[in-house]
Amino acid sequence: MPHSDIYNEIDYPGPYKQAWNRFKQNHVSWVCFCIVVFFIIVALLAPIISPYSSDYQDTQSILLPPSWQSAGDVYYLLGTDDLGRDVLSRLIHGASLTFGISLLVAFAALLVGVALGALAGMSKGIRSSVFNHLLDAILSIPSLLLAVVIVAILGPGLDNTIWAVLLVLIPQFVHRTQIVIREELKKEYITAVRLDGATEFQILKNSIFPNVIESIILQYSLAVSAAMLDIAALGFLGLGAQHGSPEWGAMLADSIDLIYRASWLAILPGITMFLCLLSVNSVGHGLRNALRHRSD
């Protein structure tokens, strides 16, 4: 039925607002988005909301179980470790190290990788061939193994781990961006834009990037997950965050010897990391699906 009100103009939502509304209709992705926002808030406000310092030791409360067990203490909701440190406080501080750093490292890799990938995707000839062969050589090595090699060269420590993970993630963004750009360049609308006299930069900015943003978002969510796993794995191996750090991987490494006596020391960091990884991946897939159909 045609609209008969000629005085009030109908406000139709734009494509990205439609995509956001479609994303919120996906209940699983929306719940996972709320969980991711919760982890981000925890990572940002860890020193404020943490009940105790990550290094605070209560020698009178060693290896207390979580508070819902009969031997637990309500002052330590998730129990304490073998040095009397509050597990909940360490998990909160660990969110800044494992999850917060992963978000920043993946975003830095996105900026560098997308720029290099755009250059590789728009280039031809020898320059394109060099990019392809270099990427194939780097991507043939598993990311964790490559990170271990880089940390072994730079030396153990969380700072060097950040650089190693960043160098590992950049080729993945370059490869993905290059593929999607070359797929777009083969489409007819690019030919039409070229015939209109658009420059290569204008084609890339105004025609290609708006149509590949969902692939970049998905790659970012995968990169955050990969960064979390690599940071935690290097911490677990003693190459990243050192033992005693509240980083989730280092916490798992510290709890190995006590897994039969105090299983919560290994279970709680594992569950926290699993929930964070699952939420990030679900949000990435949900945003990609919503953006893919934003023009429907």
The residues near 25 (Cβ < 8 Å, ≥ 6 apart) are none
**Per-residue pLDDT tens digits of the chain, which is 296 residues long:** 455 555 555 566 666 777 788 888 888 989 999 999 999 999 999 999 999 998 889 888 888 889 888 888 888 999 999 888 999 999 999 999 999 999 999 999 999 999 888 888 787 767 667 777 777 777 777 777 888 888 888 888 888 899 989 988 988 898 888 888 888 888 888 888 888 887 888 888 888 888 888 888 888 998 999 999 999 989 888 888 887 889 999 999 888 888 888 888 999 999 999 999 999 999 988 888 887 765 55
pLDDT in the model for residue 137? 73
- From the list 161, 168, 56, 182, the residue with the least C-alpha distance to 118 is 182
Rounded CA-CA distance 130/136 in Å is 10
Beta-bridged to residue 131, according to DSSP, are none
- Residue showing tokens 């808030």: 41
CA distances from 178 to 122, 158, 160, 183, 205 (A): 8, 31, 28, 9, 14
> Would you say the C-alpha torsion 37, 39, 41, 43 has a positive or negative sign?
negative
Q: What is the pLDDT of residue 90?
A: 93
Query: What is the rounded distance in angstroms from the CA atom of residue 233 to the CA atom of residue 231?
Result: 6
Q: What is the pLDDT of residue 11?
A: 61
Q: CA-CA distance, 4 to 13, in Å (whole number)?
A: 20
Check residue 99 and give its pLDDT: 93
Distance in angstroms (rounded) separating the CA atoms of residues 264 and 156: 27
Cα–Cα distance measured from residue 284 to residue 289, given in angstroms and rounded to the nearest whole number: 9
DSSP bridge partners of 216: none
Q: In sequence order, which ranges of the chain are alpha helices (DSSP H)?
A: 15-25, 27-44, 46-49, 87-94, 101-122, 126-139, 143-154, 158-185, 188-195, 200-202, 209-237, 248-255, 264-292
Task: Determine the pLDDT at residue 14.
Answer: 67
The answer to whether residues 122 and 99 touch, using CB atoms and an 8 Å cutoff, is no
pTM: 0.86
Residues 6+ apart with CB under 8 A from 237: 148, 253
Structure confidence at residue 196 (pLDDT): 82
